[in-house]
Amino acid sequence: MIVDRLKQWFDESVVQPILVPRLAARSRPLLILLGVLLLVLCGVLQPLLPADVAVELLYLVPVLTIAWAGGRRPGLAAAVAAAGGQLVIDSFDAGAHTSAGVAYGNFGLRLAMFVAVSELLPRLHQALDAARERARTDPLTGLGNRRFFEVIARAELARTNRYRRPLALGLIDVDFFKEVHDRLGHQAGDQLLQLIAREVRRVLRDSDTVARLGGDEFAVLLPETPADGADVAFRKVHGHLTAAVEREGFPVSFSLGVVTCDAGSSVPLETLIREADQTMYMVKNSGRGSLRLRPLRELSAAV
């Protein structure tokens, strides 16, 4: 139990913010506030510290925090505040320097150091964000990939279990996709996948998640959605996709397998995906081109 809770905390507090920028963005205002508080704390502590303590290193912590979380402009503001604050505090300490020239020279050096940090760190942050985006995104469709989907889905399942809320997961498979490749070429197959991605996103809510798991298989996660709402939503998706491919002249159809979780169902993600996959293959084996939804009851044997 303790190990499971630690893993859940690690997934929600560490893995998700690292892999998913939209979740990490929620913590940035708090980090900026923390940086401001640390900046004030450094100003309070500076007169109390021995003269041989390098207070610049202490001020680096809030400057780094604000620049990382807020970007270039907040970082520059923190750099000026840190260097200026030290200058003001030193001006009230007769033993801090021997002349005004030394004081302003120290101010210039500190400001240059803090500005350099505030300029470089946001660029590093942007580079890491770009790398995270590439790691979580399917390059062809722009949707999330399997790794991204699993991170989001595990978090939603944990929230579903904790707050006893319903959830639905559906898998979409493109019928006759191989024939598109064989008859129309790989470029047409890529255009079809991109069309599917656009059309599915168009009919989903902002809180819903859609990802390309690989090949011609897509996953859709609907949080806070009971069985009747999932039935309406996925039938809308199916109808929208069918109309889109008919309009564009693609000779394909779609098989959708959907499972729903009751409020408070503690079903592992692997079980949920497996059941949705089996439901989708029931559709394919019964003629393809339609949708099937199954409520997924508590599977104690699978937990």
Active site residues per annotation? 216
CB atoms within 10 A of CB 122: 20
- Spatial separation of the C-alpha atoms in residues 290 and 287, rounded to whole Å: 8
Contacts of 215 (CB under 8 A, 6+ apart): 177
Helix (H) or strand (E) holding 121: helix 100-136
Q: How far is CA 143 from CA 128, 197, 201, 266, 276, in A?
A: 19, 7, 9, 27, 20
- Spatial separation of the C-alpha atoms in residues 113 and 55, rounded to whole Å: 13
- What is the SS3 assignment for 165? coil
Contacts of 39 (CB under 8 A, 6+ apart): 59, 62, 63, 66, 78, 81, 82, 85
- Spatial separation of the C-alpha atoms in residues 48 and 207, rounded to whole Å: 50
Q: Which of 120, 137, 144 is nearest to 64 (CA)?
A: 120
- Spatial separation of the C-alpha atoms in residues 183 and 178, rounded to whole Å: 9
Q: Which of 71, 61, 70, 57 is nearest to 119 (CA)?
A: 71
- Spatial separation of the C-alpha atoms in residues 268 and 271, rounded to whole Å: 5
* Residue 190, Ramachandran bin (φ over 0: left; ψ between -120 and 50: alpha; else beta): alpha
